[in-house]
Amino acid sequence: MNKKVFSLIYAISCSVLWGTAFVAQDMGMDYIGPYTFSAARLYLGCIALLPFFFIFELKKITQSKLNFKIIIPYFFLLGFFLAAGNIFQQISLLYTDVANSAVFTVLYVVIVPVIAYFLFSKKIHKSVWPSVLMCLIGGLLLSELDNLRVRFGDSLVVVGAFFWAFHIVFISKFLK
């Protein structure tokens, strides 16, 4: 199969999964609280990815000479950003609807290049900004255009978007 077609299939699959996850998050809040849901979500994600780590990455890690005094704090920092973004997003569903939560979470796409530029002086390629604009327009079209008021939950999602953005930026730095 062509790599471009393969990549497109994975991108669409990821978008469908990401989009439907918001509905599952909202429905889950009918039965359990936001902290329990977030903890279960992160735990299940860890358990699901652990076999892939052992199959594909463990050999590489054992062969490389890694400084664990540097790596362990990065793991805690990345875990903090991931958990905080997840928790803010989940709590926001108590105060806003799914559509607004999804739209405001998309703001991390705008925040990532800004953080990378200001924190790490990373040059932002000119192709990023049209992509960011298209993402924002797409997110806006997916929202409820007849109900554009900003609620408390929306501000929580924006705070969560900053944590998601920091998570992405620091993963990029950590991997280098």
Q: Tell me: the pLDDT tens digits for 22-52? A: 778 888 888 888 999 999 989 999 999 999 9
Asked if 102 and 22 count as a contact pair (C-beta separation under 8 A), the reply is yes
**Is pLDDT above 70 for 170?**
yes
Q: Which amino acid is at 131?
A: S
Instruction: Give me the amino acid identity at 80.
Output: F
pLDDT band at 83 (very low <50, low <70, confident <90, very high): very high
In tens, the pLDDT along 110-133 reads: 899 999 989 888 888 888 888 888
Distance in angstroms (rounded) separating the CA atoms of residues 154 and 110? 16
Confidence of residue 145 (pLDDT cuts 50, 70, 90): low
DSSP 57: I
170: number of Cβ within 10 Å: 18
